[in-house]
Structure 1
Amino acid sequence: MRAAPLHSLPQRADFLRAASHGRKAARPGFVVQILQTTPGAPLRLGLTASRKVGNAVIRNRARRRLRALAREELRARALSGADIVLIARKGTAETDFATLRADLRAVLDAAFPAPTAPAGAP
């Protein structure tokens, strides 16, 4: 049984909104832009790779790796109310997948901290 697909950012304006109003984090393998939207809204994902990344084969490989990474990490967290844009960098297609995963986890942990229990709670 397949998991439900991630919602995507359908228009260029959505990407530009995330770029201009969202928080950014750069890692060696990718750049992440996160824009908080209305609570309860579905999490939407956008992927992009410019020609600086490489030829069409390399760009497609980089996007496929980022999509697989996002499926793995974002579904495990069950996040909502945000637009997330992953931008491939020159080394995305060759970077070790475990390194990409650790970088994305660190960015998501900073952007979406786990709720903490109030002081004195069991």
Structure 2
Amino acid sequence: MLPAAHRLTRPEDFREVFRRGVSAGGSRVVLHWLRGDDSTRDLDPGAPVRIGFVASKKVGNAVMRHRVKRQLRHVMRERLEEFPPGARVVVRCLPAAAGSTSGDFACELDRLINKARERSGSR
């Protein structure tokens, strides 16, 4: 589970990440990333990385959507250090995520994080 300080929950934050961030898509998920220094809000340099998840009904029933988001939370918790302080990330699930394992998500997210990092000019 992600610690509360690392959860992205407000709809305004999701909208800002979708509108202003960079995205990288895969077969199971799409990663949207807004660096902390790209934000319209003043964030302190030590602000935590905040991550949110979106799974529509196209992914499956409620049980499947929650299962997928649980797997993704676990995988993303291990990758918090990959993002600069203050970054906001949204992981949007695609229908193919329904039959995926945590290992599948880990491989895809590693690739998408690198792709998004290149696009954002970070590091």
CA distance in 2, matches of 1:25, 1:52: 20
Give yes or no for contact 1:48–1:88 (8 Å, CA) kept in 2: yes
Q: CA deviation at 1:86?
A: 0.6
1:119 matched to which residue of 2?
A: none
2:20 matched to which residue of 1?
A: 21
**Structure possessing the higher relative contact order (Cα contacts under 8 Å, 6 or more residues apart):** 2
Q: Give the 5 Å matches for 1:1-122.
A: 5=3, 7-38=6-37, 40=45, 41-75=47-81, 77=82, 79-112=84-117
Q: Following TM superposition, where does structure 1 have runs of at least 4 consecutive aligned residues deviating by more than 4 angstroms?
A: none
Q: CA deviation at 1:112?
A: 3.8
Q: CA deviation at 1:95?
A: 1.5
Q: Which segment is superposed worse, 62-71 or 105-114?
A: 105-114
Structure 1: runs of 5 or more not aligned: 116-122
TM-score, length-scaled by structure 1: 0.78
Q: In terms of Rg, which structure is larger?
A: 1
Q: 1:14 to 1:52 in 2, by over 3 A?
A: same
Q: CA deviation at 1:99?
A: 2.5
Q: CA deviation at 1:70?
A: 0.4
CA distance in 2, matches of 1:87, 1:108: 13
Measured on the aligned residues, the alpha-carbon RMSD in Å equals 2.3
Percent identity over the alignment?
31
Structure 2: runs of 5 or more not aligned: 38-43
Give the number of equivalent residue pairs: 112
